[in-house]
């Protein structure tokens, strides 16, 4: 019996190069799919039937109802708590100037924390639901059946979810900001007789039109990223095992994507 | 003889290991029963026949059109002449059966709501199904009920080519047979179904062709009632 010769060990550089190539290939593949899905979604607006628009409208409203309206209490409560948590330490240290508190709240809460926390709520609540729902359709071969019926699943299933998620993010952010203003102004009211109105007015004044525009742009990106990433992983799940594996992947990818975007926006604003 | 409704010319199924090419000619009025062991490629063959996946080689001619040379829009138009039941039932679980069945009609603006209602109710009545099933959410139905609804969906266009890739359809064949028999006699339908040899007893012997798929290779069983040679390798 002869033993096969043992191949020489690969150099560290070769291993690193192979790992890097594999990572780049996967990233490129993922970005390619993302670009294809996004392009297909946009293209889908322009050559279609009126029936498709009816489905688009109906499912977009359903998505907004599920993501925005069904979680408004949760989001408002989180905003309220954030507003209180933000102001209580400042007030206890003796900083009760309404202008200063409003400025701090605008910079830290409205422009950074609230959009990000809203995104986390949307990912956890609606994103995972989107992935599971599309995955269950995939496992029943409903996606294949749509193709056989001449229906592009991206147009019927992905597009309304992405649009609905984008609108919902905007609504939820505004709602959470309202909660934060209420929470903060309640604390200020206890120690200062400034009244509700000056606090609300001062907070609102801190948000210029440009700030609202940047926030809307950020929400647009969050909604598109969360919707597209979760639909993508739903479509990649052909059975229960793959669904279980893809759910956390979708959560992590959309979380990281939102974190990256909010960091970039902060750098643009204050950098 | 009329042109075939579906013609597989030297088609190689998309398996990792190379398999022999398949030639299969299907005409209206014919029933093809395809059996084979698990993982032999039956579902792959049905997906190739319906144009859902591309073969590794060869050509598929559906209703006289080569699938390699047609646009997606033309393929979608040709598919309206086909009825397909996949291995899964293909119903969207969170929708009602009505919404599932109405989807292609509504999406492509083919029928008004009133006509759609009449069409779907008539479809269920034709096959002795309870109308109440239409308004139930698909996920709340039993597997058997869902499969029956999926079969009805494959029939709702009065297809010229019916591909049934589901063993479970055997229990429903008896109820479907009068409709299928009439369409087969008119030469307005070709039926390709997956199933075991035992299913042959539900099917008219004079129209039946049987083939077995093993590891991507299709073997024809001679039918004594019509020995005109179909080319099957």
pLDDT tens per residue, range B125-143:
999 899 999 999 999 999 9
The residue range of the domain holding B138 is 89-158
Please check the confidence at residue A230 and state whether its pLDDT lies above 60: yes
Please name which of B3, B66, B7, B28 lies closest in space to residue B161, comparing C-alpha atoms.
B28
The percent of residues above 70 in pLDDT, for chain A, comes to 90
A271 vs A1, which has greater pLDDT?
A271
Nearest chain B CA: its distance from A153 CA (Å): 12
Handedness of CA A50, A55, A58, A59 (dihedral sign): negative
Last residue of a domain, one of B137, B158, B179: B158
Indicate whether B110 pLDDT > 70.
yes
Question: Nearest-CA residue of chain B relative to A143?
Answer: B90
B102 in the same domain as B74: no
Q: Which residues of B touch A153 (CB under 8 A)?
A: none
* Model confidence pLDDT, tens digit, residues A93-135: 887 777 788 888 888 888 889 999 999 999 999 999 999 999 9
User: Are B169 and B107 members of one domain?
Assistant: no
Residues of A in contact with B91 (CB under 8 A): 140, 142, 145
Domain boundary among B142, B158, B174: B158
Average pLDDT of chain A is 85
Pull the structure tokens for residue B99. 């919404």
- Find out whether B74 and B151 touch, Cβ atoms under 8 Å: no
CB-CB neighbors (< 8 A) of B76 in chain A:
150
What's the N-to-C CA distance of chain A in angstroms? 69
Q: How confident is the model at residue A7 (pLDDT cuts 50, 70, 90)?
A: low
Nearest CB to B107; choose among A141, A147, A151: A151
Q: Are residues B7 and B115 in the same domain?
A: no
Phi, psi of B32 (to 5 degrees): -115, 120
Residue B163 has pLDDT above 80, yes or no: yes
Q: Give the minimum alpha-carbon distance from A138 to chain B in angstroms, rounded to a whole number.
A: 8
**Number of domains comprising chain B:** 2
B8, B95: one domain: no
Does B11 lie in the same domain as B117?
no
Choose from A52, A148, A151, A243 for mutation: most chain B CBs within 10 A.
A148
Output the six-digit token pair for A102: 């409003």
CB contacts, 8 Å: B86 with chain A:
141, 144-145
Task: Using the structure block, give the residue that is written with the tokens 């998505």.
Answer: A63
Whether B124 and B182 map to the same domain: the answer is no
pLDDT at B148: 92
Phi, psi values for residue B179, rounded to 5°: -65, -45
Buried-exposed string A191-220: b where 16+ CB fall within 10 A, e elsewhere: ebebeeeebbebbeebbeeeeeebbeebbe
Residues of chain A above pLDDT 90, percent: 42
Q: Is A161 exposed, middle or buried (0-12, 13-18, 19+ CB in 10 A)?
A: buried
Residue of A nearest to B107 (CA): A51
Contact B93 A52 (CB under 8 A): no
The answer to whether residue B94 neighbours chain A at the CB level (below 8 Å) is: yes
Residues B147, B71 share a domain? no
Cβ <8 Å between A140 and B90: yes
Between positions 59 and 88 of B, the ones with CB within 8 A of A are: 75-77, 79-80, 82, 84, 86-88
Query: Are A142 and B92 a contacting pair at CB < 8 A?
Result: yes
Give the distance from CA A98 to its chain's centroid.
32
* B229 band by pLDDT with thresholds 50, 70 and 90: very low
What is the pLDDT, as a whole number, of residue A188?
79
Q: Are residues B17 and B76 in the same domain?
A: yes
d(Cα A267, Cα A247) in Å, to the nearest integer? 30
Distance of alpha carbon B26 from alpha carbon B220, whole angstroms: 13
Model-level ipTM above the cut of 0.90: no
Residue B231 pLDDT grade (very low, low, confident, very high; cuts 50, 70, 90): very low
The 10 Å Cβ neighbour count of residue B117 is 14
Model pLDDT, residue B232: 43
- For the cut 80, the answer to whether the pLDDT of residue A31 exceeds it is no
* CB-CB under 8 Å, B104 with A151: yes
Instruction: Report the range of poorest mean pLDDT among A218-232, A248-262, B14-28.
Output: B14-28
Query: Over the stretch A145-158, which tens digit does the pLDDT of each residue have?
Result: 999 988 889 889 99
Higher pLDDT, A42 or A269: A269
Q: How far is CA A251 from CA A30, A70, A193, A219, B10, in A?
A: 15, 20, 44, 17, 45
**Where do we find the tokens 């138009």?**
B77
Average pLDDT over residues A46-64: 85
Interface with B, mutate which of A47, A49, A145, A240 (most B CBs under 10 A): A145
Report the gap between the CA of A267 and the closest CA in chain B (Å).
43
- Does residue B111 share a domain with residue B136? yes
- Measured in residues, chain B has a length of 233
Asked if residues A93 and A151 have their Cβ atoms less than 8 Å apart, the reply is no
Q: Are residues B71 and B163 in the same domain?
A: yes
DSSP-assigned beta bridge partners for residue B208: B31
Query: Measured between CA atoms, how close is A73 to chain B, in angstroms?
Result: 25
pLDDT of A41 higher than 70: no
Mean pLDDT of chain B: 87
Q: Which chain A residues are within 8 Å of B50, Cβ to Cβ?
A: 148
Whole-number Å distance between alpha carbons of B159 and B153: 10
Which residues of chain B does A136 touch, with a Cβ-Cβ cutoff of 8 Å? 93
Pair B232, B192 in one domain: yes
pLDDT, mean of residues B37-50: 88
Q: Which of A49, A144, A150 sits opposite B52 (nearest CB)?
A: A144
With bands split at pLDDT 50, 70 and 90, how would you rate the model's confidence at A45?
A: low
Q: Both B145 and B191 in a single domain?
A: no
Query: Cβ of A93: how many Cβ atoms within 10 Å?
Result: 8
Q: Is B136 on the interface with A (CB under 8 A)?
A: no
In angstroms, the CA A252 to CA A258 distance is 10
Radius of gyration, CA atoms only, chain A? 23
A147-202 pLDDT, tens digit each:
998 888 988 999 999 999 999 999 999 999 989 988 888 887 777 766 666 767 77
Residue A267: which pLDDT band, with cuts at 50, 70 and 90?
Answer: confident
Residue-level pLDDT at A195: 64
Last residue of a domain, one of B158, B186, B215: B158
- Write down the pLDDT at residue A211: 79
CATH number for the domain spanning B70: value is 3.40.50.300
């Amino acid at each position: 019996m002869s033993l096969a010769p043992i191949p020489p060990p690969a150099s560290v550089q070769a291993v690193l190069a192979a790992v890097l190539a594999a990572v780049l290939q996967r990233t490129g593949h993922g970005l390619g799919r993302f670009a294809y899905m996004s392009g297909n979604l946009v293209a889908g607006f322009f050559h279609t039937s009126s029936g498709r628009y009816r489905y688009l409208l109906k499912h977009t409203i359903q998505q907004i109802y599920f993501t925005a309206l069904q979680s408004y209490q949760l989001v408002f409560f989180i905003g309220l708590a954030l507003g209180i948590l933000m102001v209580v330490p400042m007030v206890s240290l003796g900083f009760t100037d309404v202008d200063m508190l409003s400025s701090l709240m605008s910079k830290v809460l409205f422009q950074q924390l609230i959009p990000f926390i809203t995104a986390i709520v949307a990912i956890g609540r609606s994103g995972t639901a989107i992935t599971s729902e599309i995955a269950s359709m995939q496992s029943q071969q409903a996606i294949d059946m749509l193709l056989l019926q001449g229906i592009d699943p991206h147009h019927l299933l992905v597009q309304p979810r992405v649009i609905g998620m984008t609108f919902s993010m905007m609504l939820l952010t505004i709602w959470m900001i309202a909660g934060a203003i209420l929470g903060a102004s309640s604390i200020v009211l206890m120690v200062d007789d400034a009244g509700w109105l000056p606090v609300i007015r001062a907070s609102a004044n801190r948000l210029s039109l440009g700030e609202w525009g940047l926030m809307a742009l950020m929400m647009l990106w969050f909604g598109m990223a969360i919707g597209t990433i979760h639909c993508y992983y739903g479509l990649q799940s052909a059975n229960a095992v793959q669904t279980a594996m893809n759910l956390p992947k979708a959560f992590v990818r959309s979380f990281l994507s939102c974190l990256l975007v909010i960091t970039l926006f902060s750098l643009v604003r204050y950098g | 003889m009329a042109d075939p409704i579906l013609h597989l010319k030297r088609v190689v199924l998309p398996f990792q290991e190379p398999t022999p090419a398949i030639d299969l000619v299907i005409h209206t009025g014919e029933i093809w029963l395809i059996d084979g062991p698990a993982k032999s490629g039956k579902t792959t063959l049905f997906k190739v026949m319906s144009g859902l996946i591309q073969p590794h080689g060869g050509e598929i001619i559906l209703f006289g059109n080569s699938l390699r040379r047609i646009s997606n829009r033309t393929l979608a138009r040709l598919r309206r002449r086909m009825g397909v039941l996949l291995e899964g039932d293909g119903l969207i679980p969170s929708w009602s059966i009505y919404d599932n069945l109405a989807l292609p009609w509504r999406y492509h603006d083919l029928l008004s709501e009133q006509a759609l209602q009449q069409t779907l109710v008539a479809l269920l009545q034709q096959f002795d199904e309870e109308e109440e099933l239409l308004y139930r959410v698909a996920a709340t139905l039993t597997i058997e009920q869902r499969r029956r609804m999926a079969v009805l969906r494959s029939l709702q266009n009065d297809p010229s080519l019916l591909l049934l890739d589901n063993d479970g359809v055997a229990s429903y064949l008896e109820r479907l047979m009068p409709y299928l028999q009439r369409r087969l006699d008119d030469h307005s339908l070709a039926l390709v179904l997956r199933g075991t040899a035992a299913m042959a007893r539900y099917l008219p012997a004079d129209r039946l062709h049987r083939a077995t798929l093993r590891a991507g290779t299709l073997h024809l069983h001679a039918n004594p009632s019509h020995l005109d040679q179909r080319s099957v390798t």
